[in-house]
């Protein structure tokens, strides 16, 4: 068994695809419209889905707002240098929610960035 993907509902698919591909450097792995259901699914990730889990961006056609609730926390991404990645994300127009630095009560370097729908992405230093 393995985790295949995590689904996030997005309000503007183009903005979200730009964030995940241009700002975070993921690849668009596949995208398909479902006209009868009035939605589009786009899968993004750093490697083929046969090798790594992906994010499924679900865009329900029309104007929608979503409540993230209190149960969802964040999606975590391991990076070589959190400080450098934050600099790159900032230069590409990404929103840094918590700057790079040691986590509270620990030494692991982390940061948080926010996607266009307000989902948090945690950047963790590679161990």
3-state SS string over 54-86? EEEEEEECCCCCCCCCCCCCCEEEEECCHHHHH
- CATH number of the domain bearing residue 38: 3.10.180.10
**Residue 65 confidence (pLDDT):** 86
Q: Indicate whether 79 and 51 sit together in one domain.
A: no
Give the residue numbers spanning the domain of 54: 5-60
**Residue 1 confidence (pLDDT):** 84
**Residue 108 confidence (pLDDT):** 94
Residue 24 lies in a domain: yes
User: Taking the complete model, does pTM exceed 0.85, yes or no?
Assistant: yes
Distance CA 43, CA 47 (A): 11
DSSP code for 16: H
**Residue 51 confidence (pLDDT):** 95
pLDDT mean by block of 10 residues, the chain; 127 residues: 94 97 98 96 97 96 84 94 97 97 94 97 94
DSSP code for 24: S
Question: In which residue are the tokens 């029309």 written?
Answer: 62
| Catalytic residue positions, numbered | 122
Cβ atoms within 10 Å of 99's Cβ, excluding its own:
12
């Amino acid at each position: 068994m393995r985790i295949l993907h995590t689904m996030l509902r997005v309000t503007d698919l183009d903005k979200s695809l730009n964030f995940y591909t241009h700002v975070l450097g993921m690849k668009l792995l596949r995208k398909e419209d479902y006209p009868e259901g009035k939605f589009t699914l786009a899968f993004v990730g750093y490697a083929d889905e046969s090798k790594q889990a992906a994010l499924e961006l679900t865009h329900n056609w029309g104007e929608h707002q979503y409540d993230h609730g209190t149960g969802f926390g964040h999606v975590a991404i391991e990076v070589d240098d959190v400080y450098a990645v934050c600099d790159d994300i900032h230069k590409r127009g990404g929103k840094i929610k918590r700057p790079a630095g040691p986590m509270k009560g620990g030494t692991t370097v982390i940061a948080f960035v926010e996607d266009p729908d307000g989902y948090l992405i945690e950047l963790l230093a590679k161990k």
